Amino acid sequence: MARYEIYVTYKQGIFDPPGATAERALANLGYEGVNSVKIGKFIRLDADASLASVTEMCGKLLANPVIEDFRIETVEE
Amino acid sequence: MRFGVVIFPGSNCEQDVIRATQYLGYQSEYIWHGDTDISGFDAIVLPGGFSYGDYIRTGAVARFSPVMAEVIRFAEAGGPVLGICNGFQILTEAHLLPGAMLRNSGLKFICKQVSLRAEDSVCQWLDQPVGTILQFPINHNEGNYYCDAQTLSQLKANGQVVLRYVEADGSTAPGGSAPNGSLDDIAGICNERGNVFGLMPHPERMVDPINGGTDGQPFFTTIVRKLAEVAG
């Protein structure tokens, strides 16, 4: 059994409305110097599966390659 | 003429499509998402709703429902497929239409009547004169259409942009008229062949005049006429 931690984020250049809203809200709260906020998804997978197989799962279902990038980290138990 | 309307868990506009098509005098039946036989249907409609709770992404799970393999086969053979709202989202996830849906740019669920302009397209579901203004309701949270620049230029060059959001007088506001931030004001697109058509607005709700308009009728009557022409 392996644990995989997957980060799904919008591709570069794609407008991220929740991120942009958080960015404005932080500025409104008086935090200066926040240049960019991007909001994505975090998925944890415990699976008897190879990294290649998890990569396939991401490309097929967990992320949409048209708009999203994903990064997989294998966590040692 | 027999329409098949797919029900996914979480669909909620399937009855609207059934009623609209029956109002126009066509046969129309539900197809369960677990079915793997869609033979006997002349056209398939993927209705609006919130299939699988919109989890992961809108349409992402529905796209792998057992029936979808058959819908993809049907579409690739030239069969007419219409995706309305969540149905459009499912069609992009299934790669039957290019691009993807993002959250509305204003982060609000939008529920209102909008004006749309019929564009010069190859869409088999609509042959309204270019520039015809149609009024339809929209209600969605993820209708912000996106594709990359190369795909957009292909859509335009191939006549795949079917409908654009416009102002009530048919003009485009500076900065665009899409209420959801949709790229190039796109409200509906079709595939290169024109048989697969997806749109965020709801034409099925503008068929029976009791709902306040009949602008949705041409979508269903056009595809029926085109199918009759092909059948000779």
User: Does residue B12 surpass a pLDDT of 90?
Assistant: yes
Could you please report the per-residue DSSP string of B47-115? Answer: --B-GGGG-SSTTTTGGGSHHHHHHHHHHHTT--EEEETHHHHHHHHTTSSSSEEE--TTSS-EEEEEE
- What CATH number is given to the structural domain containing B52? 3.40.50.880
The pLDDT value given to residue B146: 96
Residue B71: how many CB atoms within 10 A of its CB?
Answer: 27
Distance CA A71, CA B114 (A): 39
- Catalytic residue (choose from B13, B85, B123, B147): B85
* Interchain contact, A67 vs B100, CB within 8 Å: yes
Q: In the 8-state DSSP scheme, what is residue A59?
A: I
The nearest alpha carbon in chain A to B145 belongs to: A67
Q: What is the dihedral of CA A21, B50, B183, A43, to 10 degrees?
A: 60
Measure the CA–CA gap between B121 and B114, rounded to whole angstroms: 20
Rounded-to-integer distance, Cα B176 and Cα B167, Å: 9
Look up residue A11 and give its DSSP letter. P
Question: For B52-89, what is each residue's pLDDT tens digit?
Answer: 999 999 999 999 999 999 999 999 999 999 999 999 99
Tokens for A60? Answer: 């097929």
According to DSSP, the residues that pair with B144 across neighbouring strands are: B102
Q: Under an 8 A CB cutoff, do A64 and B93 touch?
A: yes
pLDDT of B136 higher than 70: yes
CA dist A67 and B50 (Å) reads 20
With residue B17 as reference, give the H or E element that holds it.
Answer: helix B14-23
At A17 the pLDDT is 84
**Number of domain units in chain B:** 1
- Relative to beta strand B186-190, strand B133-140 is unpaired
B140 part of the active site: no
Is residue B183 scored above 80 in pLDDT? yes
What residue type is B204 in one-letter code? E
pLDDT digits (tens, 9 = 90+) for B94-121: 999 999 999 998 889 999 999 999 999 9
Question: For residues A56 and A49, what is the distance between their CA atoms, to the nearest angstrom?
Answer: 11
Task: For chain B, say whether A21 makes contact (Cβ under 8 Å).
Answer: yes
Q: Does A64 touch chain B (CB under 8 A)?
A: yes
**CB-closest option in A21, A62, A67 to B102:** A67
As a whole number, mean pLDDT of residues B169-177 equals: 93
Q: Which residue in B56, B100, B181 is closest to A66 by CB distance? A: B100
State how far the Cα of A40 lies from the Cα of B23, in Å rounded to an integer. 44
Q: Is 3.30.1280.10 the CATH classification of the domain at A2-75?
A: yes
- Residue carrying structure tokens 């919008």: A10
Asked if pLDDT for residue B184 goes beyond 70, the answer is yes
pTM of the model: 0.94
Domain limits of chain A? 2-75
Residues of B in contact with A15 (CB under 8 A): 102, 105, 181
Say what the pLDDT of residue A77 is.
Answer: 67
Which one-letter amino acid corresponds to residue B169?
Answer: D
| Residue of chain A with shortest Cα separation from B58 | A64
Separation of alpha carbons B187 and B177, rounded Å = 10
Containing domain of residue B173, as a range?
2-231
pLDDT at res. A38 = 92
- Retrieve residue B31's tokens: 């197809």
pLDDT digits (tens, 9 = 90+) for A12-65: 989 888 899 999 999 999 999 999 999 999 999 999 999 999 999 999 999 999
Three-state secondary structure call for residue B146: strand
- Count of CA atoms in the C-beta half-sphere (13 A) of A63: 23
What is the number of other CB atoms lying within 10 angstroms of the CB of residue B115? 20
Catalytic residue flag (residue B33): no
Range B149-160 average pLDDT = 98
Nearest neighbour of A15 by CB, restricted to B56, B100, B105: B105
